[in-house]
Amino acid sequence: MVETVHATFQVYRFTPGVDSSPRYVSYEFDLPPHTPVLSALLKIRQEIDPTLAMRYSCRSSICGSCAMVINSKSRLACQTQIGPELARHGRIVIDPMRNQPVARDLIVDQKPFWHDYERIDPHLIADPAHPMPEGQPNPMTPEQVDRFYETPRCIACGACYSACPAKEADPEFPGPMALAKLYRFVVDPRDGATRERLLKIQPGGLWTCLRCHLCTAACPKDVRPSERIRDLKELAIAAQGVTEAGSRHAVAFKENIYERGLLNEGKLARQTLGLAGTAAQLPQAMRILRKKPELLKSPPKIEGLAEVRKIYEMLEDEERSG
Ligand code: FES
């Protein structure tokens, strides 16, 4: 006999323009624990409520259509089994993806996602100085291809975009998927617009990233967008220098820890904002200093600072050796 578990689903329902507000509808039945959430939703639609709207196609983690928020995490419904979710949460709450408006129930309007993707010019811009030889095999070396071997795995499901708090806070931030794709073209030796791409995406386009790595946790294909954004930041500094608050903050943070092993928050703020920026923030700075007067003093050097500096040296050696 097939083992089953009793499953409770709470599914987001909303039709803009028809419903006055979203609601959750509960559905309960017994299913084998390895059942994918997508199969459970299809059962609801086939046997209980044919009006439930969702997007799906391959049912095999290939097409990227079925991304949704399951128990607060953005992921593929066809890749998420109900057993572990019920064991952990006792029920399965299903919402549409975030950072995109709801079209109906679990379907979102993906225009913002694809608009952000288009912004990075997601195609090779050939370098006229290095024309590709006609009829020749791929002119890249395996090492060059290795620099972006993860990004072609992306299936554009949008789970990273949905999971991204920076996108939620700043609609101008292009989101993890677009930046991972941008990285792919920036490091492609056949692309002739590397510098223009890096300049175009700034300011704000890169540095709004909070380094929370939620995009990497959400990605079903291990593209690791947050790591690609980190790489892009380094490339942007190399192309443009330390010219904006985001890059100044990153470089000052690194120097700051090297100096004392502890963050000198007052100095970090001054280095990040510059003289004019610091002056503009003076009222807020005064409020903070009243609560934390110790910020006016430099922190003492920590014991074991030499060990911290060794880590820096090891990382720099690693970078030099490629
Ligand atoms: S249905 Fe294609 S990825 Fe889930």
Say which range, 79-88, 99-108, 197-206, 228-237, has the weakest mean pLDDT. Answer: 197-206
Cα separation, 216 vs 219, whole angstroms: 5
* Best mutation site among 41, 62, 74 for ligand 1 pocket (most ligand atoms within 8 Å of CB): 62
Distance CA 70, CA 80 (A): 8
Q: 151-183: per-residue pLDDT in tens?
A: 999 999 999 999 999 999 998 899 999 999 999
Mean pLDDT, residues 219-241 taken together: 92
Distance 52 CA to ligand 1 centre (A): 17
Q: Residue 214 is encoded by which pair of tokens?
A: 């939620």
Least confident window among 83-87, 132-136, 256-260: 132-136
Could you tell me what percent of the chain has a pLDDT over 70?
Answer: 98
Instruction: Tokens 């593929």: give the residue.
Output: 76
Contacts of 67 (CB under 8 A, 6+ apart): 74, 75, 76, 77, 97, 157, 158, 159, 162
Mean pLDDT of the 41-55 span: 97
Q: How confident is the model at residue 258 (pLDDT cuts 50, 70, 90)?
A: very high
Does 42 contact ligand 1 (Cβ within 6 A)? no
Locate the ligand 1 atom nearest the alpha carbon of residue 58 and give its number: 2
- The atom of ligand 1 lying closest to the CA of 78 is 4
Least confident of 24-28, 34-38, 88-92, 187-191: 187-191
| CATH H superfamily, domain 111-240 | Alpha-helical ferredoxin (1.10.1060.10)
Mean pLDDT score across all residues of the chain: 91
Q: Name the residue ranges covered by the structural domains of the chain.
A: 5-108, 111-240, 245-320
Domain range 5-108, CATH class:
alpha beta
Instruction: Between 17 and 290, name the one with better pLDDT.
Output: 17
Measured from the CB, is residue 78 less than 6 Å from ligand 1? yes
75 alpha carbon, distance to own chain's centre: 13
Answer whether 178 contacts ligand 1 (Cβ < 6 A).
no
